Structure 1
């Protein structure tokens, strides 16, 4: 098999490239994930899509191809709603507080599944912090529990997608998989996916995909690209119910006037100690994160189908 005919269409440069249909995009990524094409073709695909940019229909095709090759996670046994948190960025300028968000949501009665990378040579990852807090990473999608923070490395959830993400280490550029992992729902049924973006063009792209795919999701400009709210200010948050968009929080205007008592050390141990202190009540939960938790809990309790009891 070959994807050369697709590369010919998408590889004509930013202005000359042609978009693929959803079915073509699904077939292309299926061959890439199945490793039925050469490394050279995979590299060409990654670079061509990086230059051209993905359309909504192409991303929908990529999501379908990925879902067909992912071991989907069964609904919670006790009927609670599932919240999915992609974590692929880690700490760059501020501590990665995705583990704090995840733990607060578990305490509020949600089943939480975090998926992401385990290590990043340049950043402290969510996985690093969770392990420093005493959480074990899962080795199987079937090991997900209802009442704890579940961390599924992408290498476990989808080894093929993990390989595609790893192309970045070779060519030095992100590819379609980096957008894909922030959109995917790895569950059999409905789950609330917490999405985040870093630049305005990603906001527009993710919004279009959530609407077109009928997704259940939250979308905000998180901190350092993570899906946890920036603890220094309130962000604009939109929620999607089967693709229908609703605003649940307006953005705070003006300069940042308050910085939480989080550590200057962005390492895993210091971040874990801070999160433990917050959970023990020794430090307050940063107000924007507390608000994010309240919005998520209220949403999953109000939307029919997200909880099995509804």
Structure 2
């Protein structure tokens, strides 16, 4: 029974050594996040739990249990209905954030988006928040404003700290602990608005299956996990990619074929002005437009049960009508 658990019990379960330790059950992980959310753990217990889970690598059952509690405890959404939950936590290292333009075009075409992010720790990276601010996409100052804005705005950005401050604090602990924690994985599954379409971008290949199985365990009906550019949910149009999906009609693993024949030269750093000029139509970058259209097409494939070619044609139509 959950009542018999203690935080010390969980740490002991994870840390008994190679022969005595094991991963947490889903119920144990749910208890852990309930305690964390309420602030009933000590700093030492929290650090020990997070790092022990990280060293062995978090399991889908552990993540699903943590998320059972987090999704229950996070504030209720009373704003406008969102079609797409778009987490954006990685930041872009070389290419500009083409995925933000893809999300904006989809939102304006009747696929409302909540984009959320946090943990903007890496110098030189371009994060969704600054791109949204530059483009004039509403950036909420708190959770209440995010809900109010969503009643009239098709796309809203809200920082993690405004709806899950404890999780935001844990992500910020990277500077103290020296490592990312399982919370960096689970925040991509929070889906705070209960949107029917959920997306996860990741960088490290082994985490693709972990995200996929976590979404399955949570019962997400329309989910896509992509090894996206710099870890964001953005298709690389110059590379064939495997996408893991949960969908009523599509196979769980689909091959997303490249549309550019050879690998593009990466710019030294992400340029913000190129995003503004591409949105306005002043620039027509081959790679950028392909990344936008392909990212849109992947989301449309998942959302509307389209084939890749149908989705690509629809994406171009939406972009032209933006």
- 1:220 aligned onto 2:220: no
Any residues of structure 2 matched to 1:1-310 within 5 Å, and which?
Answer: 2-13=6-17, 16-74=20-78, 76=80, 82-117=83-118, 119-122=120-123, 123-138=125-140, 139-140=142-143, 141-145=146-150, 147-188=153-194, 190-215=195-220, 216-241=222-247, 245-247=251-253, 249-252=255-258, 256-259=262-265, 264-266=268-270, 270-271=271-272, 273-281=273-281, 282-284=283-285, 285-302=288-305
Q: How far apart are the structure 2 equivalents of 1:116 and 1:14?
A: 35
8 Å CA contact retained: 1:76, 1:82 = no
Q: Deviations over 1:70-122 (max 9, x none)?
A: 11324745xxx611111111122332333212212113321011100174351
Q: Deviations over 1:207-236 (max 9, x none)?
A: 222222221211111010111222443533
Q: Which has the higher helix share?
A: 2
Q: Deviations over 1:5-56 (max 9, x none)?
A: 1100012346642122211110011111211111111111111111122222
Return the TM-score normalized by structure 1.
0.84
SS in 2 for 1:19: coil
Q: How far apart are the structure 2 equivalents of 1:226 and 1:257?
A: 19
Return the TM-score normalized by structure 2.
0.81
8 Å CA contact retained: 1:238, 1:246 = yes
Once the 2 structures are TM-superposed, how far is the Cα of residue 157 of structure 1 from its aligned partner? 1.9
Q: CA-atom RMSD, angstroms? A: 2.8
8 Å CA contact retained: 2:98, 2:292 = no
Aligned residue pairs total: 293
Runs (4+) of structure 1 exceeding 3 A deviation are: 13-16, 74-77, 231-234, 242-249, 251-259, 262-265
Q: How far apart are the structure 2 equivalents of 1:247 and 1:121?
A: 31
Once the 2 structures are TM-superposed, how far is the Cα of residue 295 of structure 1 from its aligned partner? 3.2
Q: How far apart are the structure 1 equivalents of 2:114 and 2:176?
A: 29
8 Å CA contact retained: 2:129, 2:157 = yes
- Structure 2 gaps, min length 5: 307-322
8 Å CA contact retained: 1:14, 1:52 = no
Q: How far apart are the structure 2 equivalents of 1:258 and 1:121?
A: 24
SS in 1 for 2:113: strand
SS in 2 for 1:173: coil
Once the 2 structures are TM-superposed, how far is the Cα of residue 60 of structure 1 from its aligned partner? 1.0
- Structure 1 gaps, min length 5: 304-310
